[in-house]
Amino acid sequence: MIVVFLLWVLPPPSIVIMDSWPGYDLDLFTYPQHYYGDLDYVLIPHGIIVDRIERLAKDILKDIGYCDIVILCVLKGGYKFCADLVEHLKNISRNSDRFVSMKVDFIRLKSYRNDQSMGEMQIIGGHDLSTLAGKNVLIVEDVVGTGKTMKVLLSSIKKYKPNMIKVASLLVKRTPRSDGFRPDYVGFEIPNLFVVGYALDYNEYFRDLNHICVINEHGKEKYRV
């Protein structure tokens, strides 16, 4: 008799912020004065973000091993997450007996106008994806909502046959419009809210906000285009 065992490899867990979470009062934190009156509350304080990214870096290297990595940062919202993640990956590499070579490339996508998804992804700039052939690729994204944008990007990259491709997203939104896509590494799973800060923007505003906050209707109207 031949017994076959199926081993399911589960992705690392994420921090789940429930729909009932009231957030933190803005008065408990410092933030740019020019955004006074534009925010409802702090959803994730900056310190918690940084600590969570450090753990993500450990999970990534534990999962994929100490191999050379091409990190594809999705601009603009992902740049701060990517910078902090790369710094933690480098620190782990420095303190280990294996050197990890990391090359960072960039691509810019646009799928939102104001607070609404436009449905179709626009690729703005970016380098020749054919250079990713045979490489170990880690895509670093700020937030995954419906998952459609990331699936289009993955489809484009897979045409060039990278050796491995993984996705790390700081945030994943719980939305009824999700197509079920789940990144390999997730910092926080959050309610279906439009959030800003930590390089996440609303029409290019709020990128200078350190905390991840929920924008209010006054803020949306103030910066609407």
Contact residues for 186 (Cβ-Cβ < 8 A; gap 6+): 11, 12, 14, 168, 169, 171, 172
| Residue 49 CB-density burial (10 A; 0-12 exposed, 13-18 middle, 19+ buried) | buried
pLDDT tens-place string over residues 187-210: 999 999 999 999 999 999 999 999
Confidence of residue 67 (pLDDT cuts 50, 70, 90): confident
Amino acid, res. 190: I
Beta strands in 34-151 (DSSP E): 39-44, 69-75, 102-113, 116-124, 136-144
The two counts, helices (H) then strands (E), for the chain are 4, 10
- Of 35-44, 52-61, 94-103, which gets the smallest average pLDDT? 94-103
User: In which residue are the tokens 């990391």 written?
Assistant: 102
- Of 72-76, 125-129, 130-134, which gets the smallest average pLDDT? 125-129
Q: What is the mean pLDDT of the chain?
A: 87
The CATH number for 47-190, chosen from 1.10.1040.10, 3.30.70.2190, 3.40.50.720, 3.40.50.2020, is 3.40.50.2020
Q: What three-state secondary structure class fits 41?
A: strand
pLDDT tens-place string over residues 144-191: 988 888 888 898 889 889 999 999 999 999 988 887 889 999 999 999
Angstrom distance (rounded) from CA 123 to CA 136? 22
8 A C-beta contact, residue 215 and residue 38? yes
- Of 1-10, 51-60, 168-177, 179-188, which gets the smallest average pLDDT? 1-10
Query: Where are the chain's structural domains?
Result: 47-190
Candidates 47, 48, 79, 62; CA nearest to 12 is 62
